[in-house]
Structure 1
Amino acid sequence: MVAKPGFETCSSSNLIEIMELIYKEESYAIVGACFEVYNELGNGFDESIYHEGVEIELSSRNIPFVSELPIRVQYKGAFLQKFFKADVVSHEKIIIELKAVKAVKAVKALNDHNRQQVINYLKATSYRLGLLINFGAPEGLEYERIVL
């Protein structure tokens, strides 16, 4: 039986309180840093602009991170030549995937393709938590916690 990942969706307009969150303090600090970047820059920029802003904000808050970390995938004990590149890894256990996508006709901008990207990163690293962050929504920062 394959365990299905859990999704915890939040936005700046509707925060969901969930009991016993994995890496609660760390993820709260990371999301807070992302809110600060969104509040400072707003929406409409390219993802690379937000990425740099997040790096600056994480550094200023002394939140440990590595940017654009290569993630190797193993097949039968051998590392494949192809690899993923995570936008940010924090605390050596949390994947942070940044997006700058806009919603189309009131449909949420983040989609299953974005979620699957984070799930793949989590499976390849054996990490348990991924944060999918979207700076492109005009209503405010969107984020989802993806837990394996």
Structure 2
Amino acid sequence: MNTDNEPALAGRPSDKFLLKQETHHVIGCAFEVLNELGHGLNEKCYENSLIVEFGLRKTAFVQQRQFDVLYKAHKVGLFIPDLIAFDRVIVDTKVIDRITDQERGQMLNYLRVTKLRVGHILNFKHPKLEWERIAL
């Protein structure tokens, strides 16, 4: 795991700049949504508002795409991330007191199952947007 607060693993290119433009774009959309709606509504309001903002900015995205969880080639479950932007970045909206290891772990699972490299956890609970970028 690599968050923006941790150094990249030795021998790998730095993930800090992986999908940098996409990251800035997603976070910019999240700030716009928070500024327009305010904080503390339910998660679906923010997810749907991000969809509107992505549409206004002509951002490619998919909502609630289902991914099979496989065990020895057998389907054992589903993972359904909120949004995938640019076919490369998972976007997970939250309205929680703070982002914890539980949300980070969920994002790591999303990344592993989807085989994507970058995800964003966006927390709209407070007047100031809390967000974390997780990269594999």
Q: TM-score, normalising length from structure 1?
A: 0.81
- SS where residue 26 of structure 1 aligns? helix
Give distance in 1, aligned partners of 2:48 and 2:3: 26
Q: How much does 1:20 deviate?
A: 5.0
Distance 1:20 1:50, change over 3 A: closer
2:82 maps to amino acid? D
| Corresponding position of 1:23 | 19
Q: How much does 1:58 deviate?
A: 0.6
- SS where residue 58 of structure 1 aligns? helix
Query: Identity of aligned pairs, percent?
Result: 33
Structure having the higher strand fraction is 1
Give distance in 1, aligned partners of 2:123 and 2:47: 11
Once the two structures are superposed, the pairs formed by residues 32-71 of structure 1 within 5 Å of their partners are: 32-71=28-67
| Length, aligned pairs only | 128
- SS where residue 92 of structure 1 aligns? coil
Unaligned runs of 5+ in 2: 6-13
Q: How much does 1:19 deviate?
A: 8.5
Deviations 1:33-82 (A, max 9, x none): 010000001111111111111110011001100011112111112222x2
Deviations 1:86-143 (A, max 9, x none): 00011111111110113xxxxxx000001111000000011110111111123x1111
1:41 maps to amino acid? L
Q: How much does 1:7 deviate?
A: 1.4
Give distance in 2, aligned partners of 1:23 and 1:126: 15
1:141 maps to amino acid? L
